[in-house]
Structure 1
Amino acid sequence: MTPAATSAGGAEPREDIAPVRAGEELDWSALEAHLRAGVEGLSGEFSVLQFPRGSANLTYCVSFGDRRLVVRRPPFGKIAPGAHDMGREYRVLARLHERYDRAPRALLYCADESVIGAPFLVSEYRDGVVVWDSVPASMAHLNAAGFRIGLAVIDGLADLHAVDPESCGLADLGRPDGYLGRQVHGWSSRWDAVAAHAPSRETARIVEEVGRRIRAEIPRSQRAGIVHNDYKVDNCQFAPGDPDRVKSVFDWDMATTGDVLVDLGTLLNYWPDRTVEPDSDAAFIAVPGMHGLDLPSRAEVVERYAANSDLDLTRISWYEAFGCWKTVVILQQLYARFVRGETTDPRMGMRGALVEPLARRALGLLAG
């Protein structure tokens, strides 16, 4: 394996690429042979690094000489039905890039689990920076860089929702009719599958109360479009030095067609709000430290999105609560994998502590 490199020109460190984490090695010989046979133009020495900051799918940076590719496969262990769908992600990325240039182009899909133990996809590698807990060095000197990053993320979502699924061959990606009802039912089932590993009975009770309220208050969907289903700041990539436009959007394995406001609710759920006390339940975000970015407030997120959409946003609190509840379930899934010994990543062992406070936050949103 080669050490993590620097990006073109050395302007930004590749801190998001690292040696492969212990226990997450694959059959590299089999992978190399499959890629050389399936992707045109590969030559040079084969090497692998990992994108270590994701917490579910395993994502690797595979190099053949100077050419880089991205390889993604599901996590090890038991997988929830419909989750980590590499075939779906391939289908989306093989077509969406024609109408939405922030979507990396897919190059190959392998359904043969004998190669590396699970289905996987290969996509183009894009150079750039992902915003985690600080403004990237290449933007730090710019005026209001964090605020501009936030506006660019919102605009990237609005632009996605403006894409006509039929225009890029994705009209049949999902079933928009009854979408919200099926989503709520599906996430209820995912919780049921891991509820036995809840950190406490009280935690389970609160999560189940959130689910009951979510099911009882489903709003009427207004318009269907392409739904990313995990759109957030750290799934967006920027060109170094440019905070005003998202260059790439990652993690499309849950994409579908349906009620696009689900994406806005998800984004709000993950969004740090400088108008909220950092230690309050309402302040939960996925990446600690993001409060220092000085992003737009959640109210400004809604305002910016509304300026680029004709949708009625009066029920957006339900969508944010739904996004919050989904995050609860995802955290519990990750914690359950740790409890069952299916991952060696110590971060997963800490996910359980977040389940109850986040469920309480969802109840607060539903209470208005």
Structure 2
Amino acid sequence: MVDDTIPVRPGEELEINVLEKFLRENVNGLPNEPLNLQQFSNGYSNLTYQLKMGEWEAVLRRPPLGPVAPKAHDMEREHHILSAIHPYFQSAPEPILFSDDESIVGAPFFLMERKHGLVIDNEFPEGIAPTVERCRRLSHVMVNQLADLHSIPYEKTKLMEISRPAGFIERQVVGWISRYERAKTDEIKELMPLIKYLQQSIPKYSQTSIIHYDYKINNAMFNQDLTEMVGLFDWEMATVGDPLADLGVALSYWTEVDDPELIKIGLGHASITTLKGFLTREEFIETYAIRSGRDVSNIDFYVTFGYFKLAVILQQIYSRYKKGQTNDPRFSQLGKTVKSLLAHAANVAAKEV
């Protein structure tokens, strides 16, 4: 089994004695063995830890350190989402509990099921060759799971209690523009034409489904032969909204070999989706349309918005870095990536105008 955890990073430690006491008071059936704490190495945002006591294990998620954007990193909401989705979509981890007692780990947090499998980012695990056939099959797993998530009868879940599907995409465009303006650090010439395009091109009609809204290959976990998805993580943005917005976001992460260099390596390395055999974005769209039966004729708007949304997320992180609210060296070059994403989005938009 591939080890996907690391020792806890300096500055991100938890009070292990306080946490263990809380667990023993609130989780049934824990073994009489000490708590062991590790951290998951992936991720730029929320802090995620592995908890182990003998054979018992779980995952703890809490918000990042320092001030965060309003309504972002809502642990209670993510716990609620998993509670609603897990019965219909087994790749979603089963939630265990939520706590808003900030004295335990310094912020609200929740516990969820620990899943095991392979998480893939910029390379295949040792011993698994990246053959064309394997890359293509993995692509289809990603597309099919997204389409299947969108087929869940959302009306039967409790997600409607925290969702407003009517007017979803218009609120998203307005909201993400506002988030960018609050986190702005540099002048970028492509920004205003891009914003104008997004404001003027909002679809008059949109579809409705449960959406993950941060769907990418390194948020997924696969079985040992990469034929099934056994886990899908980072549900904090999930809601009931426009499935094509979810598809557009997924495509913004799905880089191709001919993409601009900063799009491919903006987060430090190229995604495996640039390898031969992976579906192109166009093939991803076509495959999704067949699997879901949905009309994808206006997907270019959603892809443009997907790039813009990703740029805003990275800009928020970069803004926190510039203000000294986090000192993670991975964040120092995100400003260049934001500029490249906005320029790429503007180019996609220009082809539509």
Same-fold call, TM > 0.5? yes
User: For the residues of structure 1 that align with 2:263 and 2:105, how far apart are their CA atoms?
Assistant: 41
What displacement does 1:107 show? 0.3
Give the letter aligned to residue 37 of structure 1.
E
Which runs of 5 or more structure 2 residues have no equivalent in the other structure?
none
User: For the residues of structure 2 that align with 1:240 and 1:278, how far apart are their CA atoms?
Assistant: 30
User: For the residues of structure 1 that align with 2:125 and 2:119, how far apart are their CA atoms?
Assistant: 8
Q: Which of residues 184, 188, 193 in structure 1 aligns to 2:173?
A: 184
1:23 aligns with 2:23: no
Q: Which of residues 172, 187, 194 in structure 1 aligns to 2:161?
A: 172
TM-score (norm 2): 0.93
SS at match of 1:72: strand
1:329 aligns with 2:312: yes
Q: Which of residues 148, 163, 166 in structure 1 aligns to 2:152?
A: 163
Counterpart in the other structure of 2:343:
360
Counterpart in the other structure of 2:270:
288
Q: Which of residues 333, 336, 340 in structure 2 aligns to 1:350?
A: 333
What displacement does 1:66 show? 2.2
Counterpart in the other structure of 2:26:
38
Q: Which of residues 207, 214, 217 in structure 1 aligns to 2:198?
A: 214
User: For the residues of structure 2 that align with 1:142 and 1:362, how far apart are their CA atoms?
Assistant: 31
What displacement does 1:142 show? 6.6
Q: Matched residues, percent identical?
A: 36
What is the 5 A alignment of 1:300-315?
300-315=283-298
Larger displacement relative to structure 2 (230-239 or 130-139): 130-139
Counterpart in the other structure of 1:253:
236
User: For the residues of structure 2 that align with 1:208 and 1:348, how far apart are their CA atoms?
Assistant: 25
SS at match of 2:86: helix
Give the letter aligned to residue 301 of structure 2.
W
User: For the residues of structure 1 that align with 2:271 and 2:237, how far apart are their CA atoms?
Assistant: 26
Which runs of 5 or more structure 1 residues have no equivalent in the other structure?
1-6, 8-12
Counterpart in the other structure of 1:83:
72
1:320 aligns with 2:280: no
User: For the residues of structure 1 that align with 2:179 and 2:128, how far apart are their CA atoms?
Assistant: 40
Note the alpha carbon deviations across 1:191-245, whole angstroms, 9 max, x for none: 11111x23xx2x2x4234322221111113432111111011111100112x222
SS at match of 2:125: coil
The answer on whether the counterparts of 2:98 and 2:111 sit within 8 Å (CA) in structure 1 is yes
Counterpart in the other structure of 2:215:
231
SS at match of 1:24: coil
The answer on whether the counterparts of 2:314 and 2:338 sit within 8 Å (CA) in structure 1 is yes
RMSD: 1.9
Counterpart in the other structure of 1:299:
282
What is the 5 A alignment of 1:3-22?
7=1, 13-14=2-3, 16-22=4-10
Note the alpha carbon deviations across 1:301-323, whole angstroms, 9 max, x for none: 01110111222111111101111
Counterpart in the other structure of 2:254:
271
What displacement does 1:285 show? 7.0
User: For the residues of structure 1 that align with 2:250 and 2:265, how far apart are their CA atoms?
Assistant: 12
Give the letter aligned to residue 210 of structure 2.
I
Distance 1:284 1:142, change over 3 A: closer
What displacement does 1:30 show? 1.8
What displacement does 1:280 show? 5.6
The answer on whether the counterparts of 2:16 and 2:35 sit within 8 Å (CA) in structure 1 is no
SS at match of 2:310: helix
The answer on whether the counterparts of 1:153 and 1:245 sit within 8 Å (CA) in structure 2 is no
Larger displacement relative to structure 2 (294-303 or 206-215): 206-215
Note the alpha carbon deviations across 1:35-74, whole angstroms, 9 max, x for none: 2222222222201110121000000011111222100011
Distance 1:289 1:143, change over 3 A: closer
Larger displacement relative to structure 2 (109-118 or 321-330): 109-118
